[in-house]
Amino acid sequence: MPTATASNSPAKWMVLPHYAFAAFSFVVMSVLLLFSTDAFGGHYFNPKLLTITHVTVLGWATMLIFGALYQLLPVVLECRLYSEKLAVYTFGLLATGTVLLACSFWHFWVGTLLQVAAILLFSAFVLFTINIFQTARKAPKWTIEADFIVTASVWLLVTGFVGLLMAFNFTFAFLPEQHVHYLQLHAHIGMAGWFLLLIIGVGSKLIPMFLLSHPGSTKKLNWAYNFINGGLVVFSFDHLFLHTGFVPFYAALVTAGVGLFLWYLYDANHTKQRHDIDLGMKQTFVALGLLLLPLLLVFIVSSKGALPQDLLSSIYLVYGISVFLGFISALILGQTFKTLPFIIWMHAYEDYVGRFKTPLPKDMYSHTLLRWQNIFYLAGFILLITGVLLRMQPVILAGALCFTVTALLYASNVFRMLLHKVQDLKPFTYGNANA
């Protein structure tokens, strides 16, 4: 990984707070889940679910993605980050906005506090997008990965703008449709436009690299980019202006794009040179498997067939859970232990390589904690969606307890890495330098 050197990477004090805040947010989200089992029996538009969703999306997923991307962008685009100062401001705005937004939704204060939170969050997205654009402009060559990442930042900005409008609409009611109508748009462009495109852009580079695979053609990724963005654009236009019944077709376009990405990864896995798959990559493959559930449910959600209203409401909830607590969370739980250990190791030991015996990145965390984290996560996810579908609060509570254990194990491992200190190293001596 020649481009991931200290000379090309941002300072650790700028990256690592994102991981700390994200781990803390994951714990908070899990605790809130414990006290919100009653909220899963009705409509998804209620204060508790709005709070849990936005803590998950902003404090957990987006915060960690921002931090990881600042470190990984030099690897993907082969150039330095445009501005570390902008990244620090973005962190402050995102963290403050997330806390204020969570308080607003939990107590359903839809006035000034919610509006301030929305402004802070949108400002964070603006600064982030500027940083991504300016960094991409410095790249020595433009790649399909850059297309995905830059376009994802644009969709993030659009998602934030829609959210900003909705925050003010609570007070001034200037939007022509009902609030839930725009919430659906807000959610889908965030899920597919921001998260999905970003994950494909970074994953198509990193996953083959972790597998020691070198896929040749990027044609599948090019078509995946076209299908997903085409589906999102026509869906957004239709949702705002036309209101036709073609939403399943738009969902099919996005699904086709995801299928091409998975096909690309299948080819990469088929040609991999590394066959000893670690726990982080195993969890990544679990996440990719979980992605199939929302891809199936999106057709049920978009077609709104002749299903009982109670069942349809439960399917809506499972759809959201399968995206945010399923695919995205599972991917983060796996990839954290592929990216953060290397970041910690690089900043701590890069100057000692070749002169001292240093630990490996995989020695930065507890494999036992990670193994139990993955077990409790999968159990929690299965219990949660089962409980929601069957409308059984004890099963939902069991799932929430498993998620809480998962979050505590994850946070323990993350802070173990963040607080890692360089120990006394034994220097190499002549004759055993290769030992």
pLDDT digits (tens, 9 = 90+) for 313-329: 888 899 999 999 999 99
pLDDT band at 295 (very low <50, low <70, confident <90, very high): very high
CB atoms within 10 A of CB 8: 15
Cα distance between residue 279 and residue 409, in whole Å: 14
Percent of the chain with pLDDT over 70: 95
For the residues 327-335, what does the mean pLDDT come to?
Answer: 94
Fold (CATH) for 12-349+359-418:
Cytochrome C Oxidase; Chain A (1.20.210)
Q: In one letter, which amino acid is 430?
A: Y
Angle at 246 between CA 386 and CA 228, to 5 degrees: 75
Q: What tokens does 383 get? A: 């219990």
Q: Which residues contact 379 (CB under 8 A, 6 or more apart)?
A: 399, 402
| Higher per-residue pLDDT: 421 or 93 | 93
Helix (H, G, I), strand (E, B) or coil at 356: strand
Q: In one letter, which amino acid is 288?
A: L
Residue 41 has pLDDT above 90, yes or no: no
Cα distance between residue 283 and residue 289, in whole Å: 10
pLDDT band at 7 (very low <50, low <70, confident <90, very high): low
Q: Which residues contact 235 (CB under 8 A, 6 or more apart)?
A: 188, 247, 250, 251
- What per-residue confidence (pLDDT) applies to 256? 97
Q: Which residues contact 245 (CB under 8 A, 6 or more apart)?
A: none
Cα distance between residue 81 and residue 350, in whole Å: 20
End-to-end Cα, the chain, rounded Å? 23
Alpha-carbon Rg for the chain, nearest whole angstrom, is 22
Locate all alpha helices (DSSP H) within 35-111, ordered by sequence: 47-54, 63-77, 84-107
Cα distance between residue 69 and residue 83, in whole Å: 13
CB atoms within 10 A of CB 390: 11
Inter-residue contact 231 to 253 (CB < 8 Å): yes
Residue at token pair 């998804």: 44
For the residues 140-166, what does the mean pLDDT come to?
Answer: 94
Q: What tokens does 112 get? A: 């000034």
Angle at 20 between CA 105 and CA 367, to 5 degrees: 120
Cα distance between residue 27 and residue 46, in whole Å: 21
Cα distance between residue 30 and residue 251, in whole Å: 30
Q: Which residues contact 5 (CB under 8 A, 6 or more apart)?
A: 346, 350
CA-closest candidate to residue 377, choices 294, 284, 275: 284
Helix (H, G, I), strand (E, B) or coil at 215: coil
- Span 216-239, pLDDT tens digits: 788 999 999 999 999 999 999 999
How far is the CA of 57 from the CAs of 85, 142, 155, in angstroms? 24, 29, 15
Cα distance between residue 255 and residue 259, in whole Å: 6
For the residues 101-127, what does the mean pLDDT come to?
Answer: 96
Q: Which residues contact 63 (CB under 8 A, 6 or more apart)?
A: 18, 21, 22, 25, 91, 94, 95, 98
For the residues 247-275, what does the mean pLDDT come to?
Answer: 90
As beta bridge partners, residue 356 has: 353, 427
How far is the CA of 204 from the CAs of 34, 73, 290, 326, in angstroms? 35, 13, 18, 20
DSSP code of 44? Answer: S
- What per-residue confidence (pLDDT) applies to 428? 64
The whole-chain average pLDDT of the chain stands at: 90
- What per-residue confidence (pLDDT) applies to 305? 66
- The model carries a pTM of 0.92
Among positive and negative, which fits the CA dihedral 393, 405, 65, 205? negative
CA-closest candidate to residue 325, choices 101, 36, 2, 10: 36
Exposure on the CB side of residue 395, measured as CA atoms within 13 A: 14
Q: How many residues does the chain have?
A: 435
Among positive and negative, which fits the CA dihedral 4, 6, 10, 12? positive
Exposure on the CB side of residue 65, measured as CA atoms within 13 A: 28
Cα distance between residue 102 and residue 105, in whole Å: 5
